[in-house]
């Protein structure tokens, strides 16, 4: 066809207009059907290098759903210990959060219950109550001013708080972010998680650990020699009660308009921690990840010996991949019956992971009192390179990757990661099997341990150990520990002499992060033992003893034999002196009658080496000094040694003499101090009322006619008895003389 030049130009213009019209039409049609979303969707996760953030807005599907990836899928990390995403509220822009992370600013985590969202200073939370009342034109959102972009210096010094909800979406879940017909309109279920930045919608998710749950009891019948296919509902909502809050976990949610339904009776708590676990106050915890496999014997699911452990099972996690047909986690298991032998058996055995201490007794009250523990793995295809062991430590309320070290060891079919903690503190151990296929289900495990291998600290001031004090003392006891156990701790003061012991810990008062006990002044002379025994909750114990004396009065003495002090004796003896002093003493002098005598001093007793066996008076003296500076002298002790018999003297009668009428007899001793002890007359021992004693002499009258025998014996103060003196005499009737009487 021949076309002239002018016609060619017209045709070209028409063609261009057609193309332009087509482009405009297609663009208009696309925008009218599904306008690109302006919503910022940020995923925040953490590994050993710190926090990371990714904008995944482009991952939003045309139907308004977002399939949540693993942190590893986002790059920069190999950490597969996370299994859930939790929506968080952030009072700042995505760009500023990113700058704070890149420039090493501070990120803090606080938990909240979605039934009671946090009240932020600028009311950035798009809760339904605020949305409907504050902006009628766009009732689903709240418009607020945007945040100014931080400088590098500002972001490095800034602190941003991520308010983590108690809602969990499993990795691989399909979450309805926007409405299917308008990607700029946030779905009703997600409006409460919008953090506004000017006219832009922001929705953030934080990678978190799985909550601990008690798995439901499997009530399905066991069938032998059959193939069973298990079908799981993707709209699976598991509510988990923990000591701090109730958590809602949404797994594989493919419904476009479904929403998480948290428990409205939950409690809110502020915990600077992005990890959700269960109670750690058990001696051990075991995670057993199982497929949906039916067997003929339920006990075959527990091949690990946990007779000495209290078990807690973690919810099986699965691969996290969603399915468009609404079914996930389908598994088929073929087993043989007990009595059959012709069937085939196929069983997919999942690895088992458990944590325990090397010595079970080291786990006390939820604390580990050694800085070692181990993670046991049972895996038929074990390869250490396929397992990651990450140990996080809580520092200033935030978790950071710790300096804990671990090494693998194997024994039979069991493999252990032996972990050595670098210090005391709260730790989280995360174990994950890497490089697994999406259909096999990932093995993840975590456990919190509170390591406390440090014994309590004790100081005692005001008195020194093994000291003598010539004054009143006032001891002061200070003790401290992060996890002190006051119920087992004791402080006692024991007085040795009187044997009394007093418990004083109840008087202690809190001070400077510890406790202080100011004892009352001790002023009574005695030996004392102050014993301080402090326990902590981990079972660590520290004990300190202080032995001291209060000795204001110096030494005391006791002469032995004690009964001879100031007395007479007629028995030879070796004198000794016991010296009692609260302090160590030394002998200044030891004398007898003023003369130094040889002695030995052993065990607080001084013994003279020479016996006393000669008559005479002996005076003993002793002087000592003690470490308290006191000088003490014993009061002189007198002892009279007398081994000589006394002598009796009989006056008034003589041997063989006769006396008319009566005779006065006087009995005495040769030495003063001796005494007449016994008097016999005609073999009769006279009673004391049958004679008189006058100035130490015995007086008696004999007036009975006839022959008489008198016996006398004397005794001295030393107990010596005299020989018996005997006198024989006679009493006659007196002669009567008659006088002449004159008779008148």
Q: List, for residues 69-114, the tens digit of each pLDDT value.
A: 988 888 767 666 788 899 999 988 999 999 999 998 889 888 888 8
Look at residue 626 in the predicted model and tell me its pLDDT: 82
Name the band, by pLDDT with cuts 50, 70 and 90, for residue 469: confident
CATH 2.40.160 assigned to 457-550: no
Say if 556-641 and 648-732 have the same CATH topology.
yes
Look at residue 354 in the predicted model and tell me its pLDDT: 65
Distances (CA, A) of 720 to 206, 569, 581, 619, 669: 108, 9, 38, 22, 13
Longest dimension (CA), the chain: 235
Query: What would the mean pLDDT of 189-218 be, rounded to a whole number?
Result: 74
pLDDT exceeds 50 at position 340: no
Instruction: Flag whether pLDDT at 642 surpasses 90.
Output: yes
How are beta strands 159-164 and 444-451 bridged, if at all?
Answer: unpaired
Provide mean pLDDT across the span 143-147: 66
The pLDDT assigned to 700 comes to: 93
CATH-assigned architecture of domain 556-641: Sandwich (2.60)
> How far apart are the C-alpha atoms of 542 and 544, rounded to whole Å?
7
Whether the predicted pLDDT of 473 surpasses 80: yes
* Lowest-pLDDT range of 58-72, 167-181, 348-362: 348-362
Gyration radius of the chain's alpha carbons: 53
Q: What is the pLDDT averaged over residues 48-54?
A: 86
Q: Are strands 616-626 and 631-633 parallel, antiparallel or unpaired?
A: antiparallel
Q: Which of 72-81, 322-331, 677-686, 719-728 has the least mean pLDDT?
A: 322-331
Among 363-367, 421-425, 605-609, which is the least confidently predicted range? 363-367
Q: Whole-angstrom Cα distance, residue 633 to residue 590?
A: 10
The pLDDT of 301-313, averaged and rounded, is 34
Among 35-49, 190-204, 222-236, 416-430, the least confident range: 222-236
- Phi, psi of 343, rounded to the nearest 5 degrees: -85, 165
Find the mean pLDDT for residues 331-359: 45
Q: Record the tokens describing residue 6, joined without a space.
A: 């002018």
pLDDT of residue 454: 94
- Which range is least confidently modeled, 31-35, 74-78, 695-699? 31-35
- The mean pLDDT of the chain is 75
Element (H, E) at 11: helix 5-34
Q: What is the predicted pLDDT for the residue at 145?
A: 64
According to the model, what pLDDT value does residue 663 have?
93
Q: Read off the tokens for 277.
A: 């676990």
Contact in structure between 576 and 610 (CB atoms under 8 Å): no
Element (H, E) at 554: none
pLDDT of residue 631: 87
Q: How confident is the model at residue 288 (pLDDT cuts 50, 70, 90)?
A: very low
Asked if pLDDT for residue 133 goes beyond 60, the answer is no
Of 199-208, 387-396, 535-544, the range with the highest mean pLDDT is 535-544
**pLDDT-above-90 percentage for the chain:** 37
Q: pLDDT band at 302, cuts 50/70/90?
A: very low
Give 92's DSSP letter. S
pLDDT at 707 exceeding the cut of 90? yes
Sequence ranges of the domains in the chain:
40-208, 278-296+307-451, 457-550, 556-641, 648-732
> Rounded mean pLDDT of 249-268?
39
Cα distances (Å, whole numbers) of residue 563 to 192, 408, 638: 98, 79, 11
- Which of 261, 250, 273, 102 lies closest to 170, judged by CA? 250
Closest CA to 225 of 333, 376, 70: 333
Residue 122 has pLDDT above 90, yes or no: no
pLDDT of residue 436: 53
Residue 43 has pLDDT above 70, yes or no: yes
CA distance 440 to 319: 7
Mean pLDDT of 278-297: 34
- Coil, strand or helix: which one is 58? helix
Q: Quick one: pLDDT band at residue 188, thresholds 50, 70, 90?
A: confident
pLDDT at 243: 35
Using a cut of 0.75, tell me whether the model's pTM lies above it.
Answer: no
Which tens digit of pLDDT belongs to each residue from 371-397?
988 888 888 888 888 888 889 999 998
Examine the pLDDT at 651 and tell me if it is beyond 90. Answer: yes
Q: Is the pLDDT of residue 213 over 70?
A: no
Residue 225's pLDDT is 37
Give the span between the Cα atoms of 561 and 573, in whole angstroms: 8
Adjacent-strand bridge partners of 286: 354
User: Who has greater pLDDT, 699 or 226?
Assistant: 699
HSE at residue 276, side-chain half, CA atoms within 13 A, is 34
266 pLDDT above the threshold of 80: no
CATH top-level class of 648-732:
mainly beta
Residue 543: what pLDDT? 97
Alpha-carbon distance values, 389 to 20, 314, 405, 408, 476 (Å): 59, 17, 10, 10, 47
Span 214-241, mean pLDDT? 37
Angle at 247 between CA 241 and CA 249, to 5 degrees: 120
DSSP label of 268 = -
The answer to whether residue 446 scores a pLDDT higher than 70 is yes
> So what's the pLDDT on residue 211?
52
Out of 220-224, 403-407, 603-607, 629-633, least confident range: 220-224
> How far apart are the C-alpha atoms of 190 and 201, rounded to whole Å?
11
Give the mean pLDDT of 134-154: 62
141 pLDDT higher than 90: no
- Average of per-residue pLDDT across 225-250: 38
pLDDT higher than threshold 50 for residue 578:
yes
């Amino acid at each position: 066809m021949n076309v002239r030049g002018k016609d060619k130009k017209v045709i070209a213009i028409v063609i261009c207009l057609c193309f332009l019209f087509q482009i405009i039409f297609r663009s208009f049609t696309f925008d009218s059907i599904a306008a690109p979303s302006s919503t910022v969707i940020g995923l925040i996760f953490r590994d050993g290098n710190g926090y990371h953030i990714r904008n995944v807005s482009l991952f939003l599907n045309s139907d308004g759903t977002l399939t949540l990836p693993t942190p590893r899928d986002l790059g920069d990390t190999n950490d597969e210990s996370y299994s859930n995403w939790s929506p968080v509220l952030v009072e700042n822009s995505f760009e500023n959060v990113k700058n704070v992370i890149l420039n090493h600013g501070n990120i803090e985590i606080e938990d909240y219950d979605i039934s009671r969202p946090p009240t932020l200073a600028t009311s950035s939370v798009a809760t339904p109550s605020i949305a409907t009342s504050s902006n009628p034109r766009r009732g689903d959102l709240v418009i607020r001013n945007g945040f100014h972009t931080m400088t590098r210096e500002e972001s490095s010094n800034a602190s941003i708080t991520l308010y983590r909800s108690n809602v969990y979406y499993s990795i691989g879940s399909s979450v309805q972010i926007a409405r299917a017909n308008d990607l700029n309109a946030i779905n009703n279920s997600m409006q409460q998680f919008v953090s506004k930045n000017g006219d832009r919608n922001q929705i953030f998710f934080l990678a978190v650990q799985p909550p601990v749950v008690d798995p439901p009891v499997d009530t399905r019948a066991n069938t032998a020699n059959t193939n069973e296919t298990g079908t799981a509902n993707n709209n699976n909502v598991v509510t988990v009660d923990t000591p701090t809050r109730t958590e809602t976990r949404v797994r594989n949610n493919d419904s476009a308009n479904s929403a998480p339904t948290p428990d409205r009776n939950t409690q809110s708590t502020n915990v600077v921690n992005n990890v959700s676990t269960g109670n750690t106050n058990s001696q051990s915890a075991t995670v057993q990840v199982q497929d949906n496999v039916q067997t003929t014997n339920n006990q075959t699911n527990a091949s690990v010996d946990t007779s000495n452990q209290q078990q807690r099972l973690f919810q099986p996690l699965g691969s996290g991949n969603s399915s468009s047909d609404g079914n996930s986690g389908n598994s088929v298991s073929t087993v043989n019956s007990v009595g059959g032998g012709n069937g085939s058996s196929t069983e997919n055995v999942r690895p088992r992971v458990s944590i325990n201490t090397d010595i079970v007794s080291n786990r006390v009250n939820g604390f580990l009192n050694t800085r070692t523990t181990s993670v046991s793995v049972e895996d038929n295809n074990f390869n250490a390179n396929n397992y990651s062991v990450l140990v996080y430590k809580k520092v200033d309320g935030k978790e950071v990757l710790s300096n804990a070290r671990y090494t693998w060891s194997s024994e039979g079919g069991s493999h252990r990661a032996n972990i050595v903690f670098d210090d005391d503190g709260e730790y989280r151990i995360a174990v994950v099997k890497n490089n697994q296929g999406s259909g096999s289900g990932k093995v993840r495990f975590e456990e919190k341990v509170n390591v406390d291998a440090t014994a309590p600290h004790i100081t005692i001031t005001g008195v020194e150990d093994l000291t003598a004090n010539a004054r009143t003392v006032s001891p002061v006891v200070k003790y401290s520990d992060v996890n002190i156990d006051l119920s087992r701790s004791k402080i006692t003061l024991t007085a040795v002499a009187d044997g009394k012991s007093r418990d004083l810990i109840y008087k202690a008062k809190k001070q400077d992060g510890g406790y202080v006990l100011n004892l009352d002044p001790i002023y009574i002379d005695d030996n004392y033992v102050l014993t301080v025994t402090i326990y902590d909750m981990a079972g660590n114990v520290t004990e300190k003893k202080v032995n001291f004396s209060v000795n204001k009065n110096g030494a005391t003495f006791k002469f032995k034999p004690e009964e001879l002090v100031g007395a007479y004796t007629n028995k030879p003896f070796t004198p000794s002196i016991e010296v009692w002093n609260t302090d160590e003493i030394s002998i200044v002098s030891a004398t007898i009658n003023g003369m130094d005598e040889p002695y030995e001093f052993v065990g607080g007793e001084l013994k003279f080496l020479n016996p006393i066996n000669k008559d005479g008076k002996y005076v003993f003296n002793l002087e000592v000094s003690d470490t308290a500076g006191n000088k003490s002298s014993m009061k002189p002790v007198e002892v009279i040694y007398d081994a000589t018999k006394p002598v009796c003297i009989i006056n008034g009668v003589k041997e063989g003499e006769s006396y008319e009428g009566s005779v006065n007899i006087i009995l005495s001793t040769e030495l003063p101090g001796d005494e007449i002890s016994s008097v016999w007359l005609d073999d009769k021992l006279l009673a004391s009322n049958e004679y008189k004693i006058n100035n130490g002499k015995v007086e008696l009258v004999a007036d009975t006619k006839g022959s008489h025998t008198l016996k006398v014996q004397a005794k001295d103060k030393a107990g010596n008895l005299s020989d018996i003196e005997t006198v024989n005499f006679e009493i006659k009737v007196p002669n009567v003389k008659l006088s002449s009487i004159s008779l008148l």
